[in-house]
Amino acid sequence: MAAVYDEVEIEDMEFDAEEQVYYYPCPCGDRFSIDLEELYDGEDIATCPSCSLTIRVVFDEENLPELKEEEDAE
């Protein structure tokens, strides 16, 4: 895996409760993103869709918001 650009505390990231995604500004002008579900699955690398940079998200699982259930699940 490529080197991590930075380590970011989850408290410094923006959380979109509707999409259940954390965002953080990328130097390229876009945003790093990581899904709440990915964090619960133990992932800690947020990616930028516009460039190759990644960041490591520093968090404690017990402090994460609750995961919303899929409303359209059958």
Domains of the chain, residue spans: 6-63
Residues shown for the chain: 74
* pLDDT the model gives residue 13: 98
Q: What is the pLDDT at residue 19?
A: 96
The segments of the chain whose pLDDT lies below 70 read 1-2, 70-74
CATH class belonging to 6-63:
alpha beta
Please return the burial class of 1, using the count of CB atoms within 10 Å of its CB with bins 0-12, 13-18 and 19+. Answer: exposed
